[in-house]
Chains A and B, each alone.
Chain A
Amino acid sequence: MKAQEAKSPLLAKSIVSRIFSIREMGTIIPLIILYIVIAFVNPNFFAPANLIDVVRATSYTFILAAPLTCLMLTGNRDLSVGATTALGGVACAWGLTSLHWGIIPSILLGLFAGLVVGLIKCFIVLNLKLPPFIITLGLQYIINGFVLVTTLGNPITGFPKAFTNLGQGRVFGVFYTIIFALVLGIAIHLMLRYTRLGREIYATGGNKETARLAGINTTKVLMIVHVAASVFAALVGILYASRFNAAQSNAGAGTEMTIMAAIIIGGTSFAGGSGTVIGSLFGCLLLASINNGLVLMHVSSYWQNLVFGAILVISLLLDKIRTDKSGGGL
């Protein structure tokens, strides 16, 4: 309408401000800065083998982050995914080694463990209407405890070659997991953008009661995202077991926080209703790059904790600035 009245300096300003207002910019700019810093400090980062390492690490977190993004889009959070990762790996390993099941049934067993966790979580969060933050925290402890009790904290090893091939094998030099992560990312991206379910997820996260009054089955939507998050968490655990030829009771421990930080840095709002999977991909890439960069720069692991804590705080700050701008306060 009155946009045409803008004079040329304003127009230039609006292009710059438009670039800055792209949600994913929150991760792309730090990513670029990080790469420049690393390039000066330790150019080894850009060695092909190391880059593959970074992408490979990204693929694991992203397989979990993509479905978790959908969950966060509905305005929910899940602190039990890290523990579910360990559970999935252990359940699958148990099938392979103790039950002497085939590979596919064992994988299904691992996924089934994730499904059970997802359904229990749904039941508590949706029916008992308790706050998801606390409930999933409790669930995290329960699952952790369960895994420790059953494995006595020992890793389970000794898998058939065909199984370890999942996490270690490649086609044309590219790891299977990277391809899988890419396909999954594209599928979820298309789902969010072009399908009815995608629309329902955004609507539920934007304003649940409005969505319900418009005839959207918000309970169904929440169930889908909760269950998906748990099942994919279990899948990541299975892939870790395959990659390291060992199912560990602490696989994925503590990752839920960093992954959620990656998602929020990637532009998904804490309150729900806005964000993209592409943003989460950049978030995961940023996380893996920092991780790798710190190791290359011989920074002690104590510092890594500090850096990740800072990232978590910054991501929430970013989110607050974004929601304040969108008039969320009023």
Chain B
Amino acid sequence: MKENVLEMRNVTKRFPGVTALKDVCIDLRKGEILGICGENGAGKSTLMKVLSGSYTAKEYEGEILIDDKPVSFTNVYDAQKCGIEMVYQELNMVLDLSVAENLFVGNLPLRNGVVNYKQLYSDAEKLLERIGFDVNPRTIVRLLNSGQMQMLSIMRACAKNPKILIMDEPTSALTDQEVETLMKLLNELRDSGVSVIYISHKMQEIYRICDRITVIRDGQTISTNDIDKVQEQTLIEEMVGRKVENMYPKENHATKEEVLRVEHLSVPHPNIHGKYIVEDIGFTLHKGEILGIGGLVGAGRSESLAAIFGQYVKGVKKEVWVGGKKVKITKPLDAIRHGIGFITEERKLTGYIGVLSIRENMSIASLKKLSGLILMKRRKEREETDKQFRQLRVKAPSSETKLFQLSGGNQQKVILGKWLINEPEILFIDEPTKGIDVGTKADFYQIMNELTSRGVSIVMVSSDMPELIAMSDRCIVISEGRITAELEGEEITETNVMRAAIQGKK
């Protein structure tokens, strides 16, 4: 048996009102990939923040042993000195610095006390090339899409040659291609003796890459097994503590009545000046339908939704009809007035407000409904938000909990709740179940069914192939700025979607 590089013993971590971890024990061996899975709010991210020094040794109980020696960290740098690097679940890049600067932040190459940019860019180029990641190191990070940003944070961690690498849901924003790159990278790291902790809600990936798997539920370790000795069904049951019968409970409520039509939509490319990311596309959405939009990340799907919704206006060309009437949408408020809601992909940047409570976050899209001319209707607000809080089973002490205190998946539920209170006729959802656990995913799909049964129509961008296939009534695929396929019912298969998604690619 291989030696242990890391052992965490009886770790307990309390937040005001919540015990996030209770006597958790894990061990990590040299050169292995240990998977950690569990429901939203189970405590995975918290455990990893304990390990990476985000919480100081005083803030939790328990022991951390590295190479059988007890250690205690007071900050992230202490942990980094012991060779621990973490890729966080939420992006933490400096958006206005370049790719290269972000990669080497903290150890920029210096010459005579000033940054040696020439060397910085050539180092960055080398690193990017080695991993086969195609971006210009001089690009400002803000211009990258979320997948590229995620790859960047992974590379930033690797660039420091860690002994223990922690990844918290690294693939939730990645394209299949990027996932492949990551898997290759992980294999290389394992072969060179690095130990990796890999948190994911995607069973497929866990089975593919991990050596062992630890399940955490309600802040406690439930089991640790060799991956080839345990069945997926068993894992899921251990995670949720009950049986999940049907992952994709799709119901069909689609009609033929047109509610939204978009024509001649052209959206400027966010990185390349003068080029369009999608050019002259159009589609129709019917009442009660779920229209899936497939394609590779970076194909311009998110940008298209954002442009229709009025988030971006500069350089956008579009013609939009809602309920048969031509409408002008020049800002998000226009779209909302026409009954459109938009759940974006980037929770932290455009989805929630961390310093405000669950209640305040859920009501901000419906202030008109929840207030009179001047005053807020506090009772009505409380009723509506409490209803969503219960229905969506948000895991938090109360609806006064601030959003930054919630786990990623629970934040997503609050964002959904925000739009459910607004009661839109049309809902755009960009990556609906990003970072959501298996049990809750099924709940989410059930909610989508309820919405469509009430006549709400949904446009869903998804990179999760099984989800796209199971939940879409109709599916369009975007590639190289054009719609390369429109599939319906039985035609929506993995091969058809993939073929269309890479069509026109060099």
Q: Is B19 part of the contact surface with A, judged by Cβ < 8 Å?
A: yes
Shortest C-beta distance, A270 to chain B (Å), equals 12
Q: Could you say which residues of chain A place their CB within 8 Å of the CB of B92?
A: 329-330
Known A195-B376, A210-B353; judge A326-B404 contact (CB<8 A): yes
Known A209-B349, A216-B364; judge A2-B19 contact (CB<8 A): yes
A-B contact count (CB 8 A): 105
Interface size class of A (residues with CB under 8 A): 35 or more
Q: How many Å lie between the Cα of A329 and that of B374 in the bound state? A: 35
Would you call B18 and A1 a contact (CB within 8 A)?
yes
Q: Mark A271-299, 1 if CB is under 8 A from B, else 0.
A: 00110000000000000000000000000
Q: Could you say which residues of chain B place their CB within 8 Å of the CB of A207?
A: 349-350, 352-354
Known A196-B376, A273-B356, A330-B88; judge A213-B19 contact (CB<8 A): no
Q: Could you say which residues of chain A place their CB within 8 Å of the CB of B355?
A: 206, 269, 273-274, 326
Would you call B353 and A273 a contact (CB within 8 A)?
yes
Q: Could you say which residues of chain B place their CB within 8 Å of the CB of A274?
A: 355
Interface size of B by CB at 8 A reads: 42
Q: Mark A174-199, 1 if CB is under 8 A from B, else 0.
A: 00000000000000000000111111
Shortest C-beta distance, A31 to chain B (Å), equals 25
Q: Could you say which residues of chain A place their CB within 8 Å of the CB of B395?
A: 1
Q: How many Å lie between the Cα of A198 and that of B360 in the bound state? A: 11
Q: Is B378 part of the contact surface with A, judged by Cβ < 8 Å?
A: yes
Would you call A199 and B397 a contact (CB within 8 A)?
no
Known A202-B360, A203-B356, A269-B355; judge A214-B332 contact (CB<8 A): yes
**B335's closest neighbor in chain A, by CB?**
A215
Known A197-B374, A199-B364, A217-B333; judge A3-B353 contact (CB<8 A): no
Kindly identify which residue among A199, A206, A213 contacts B367, using a CB–CB cutoff of 8 Å.
A199
Q: Is B375 part of the contact surface with A, judged by Cβ < 8 Å?
A: yes
Shortest C-beta distance, B299 to chain A (Å), equals 22
Q: Is B113 part of the contact surface with A, judged by Cβ < 8 Å?
A: no
Q: Is B237 part of the contact surface with A, judged by Cβ < 8 Å?
A: no
Would you call B402 and A213 a contact (CB within 8 A)?
no
Residues of B1-46 at the interface with A, using a CB-CB cut-off of 8 Å, are 16-19
Shortest C-beta distance, B496 to chain A (Å), equals 33
Q: Is B365 part of the contact surface with A, judged by Cβ < 8 Å?
A: yes
Q: How many Å lie between the Cα of A213 and that of B344 in the bound state? A: 9
Q: Is B311 part of the contact surface with A, judged by Cβ < 8 Å?
A: yes
Shortest C-beta distance, B23 to chain A (Å), equals 13
**A271's closest neighbor in chain B, by CB?**
B355
Q: Could you say which residues of chain B place their CB within 8 Å of the CB of A200?
A: 367
**B16's closest neighbor in chain A, by CB?**
A14
Closest 4 CB pairs of A and B: A206-B353, A214-B365, A196-B371, A273-B355
Chain A residues near B (Cβ < 8 Å): 1-3, 5, 14, 17-18, 21, 194-200, 202-203, 206-207, 209-217, 269, 273-274, 326-330
List 6 extra interface pairs beyond A5-B19, A21-B16, A330-B54, CB under 8 A.
Answer: A1-B18, A2-B18, A199-B360, A206-B354, A212-B331, A330-B90
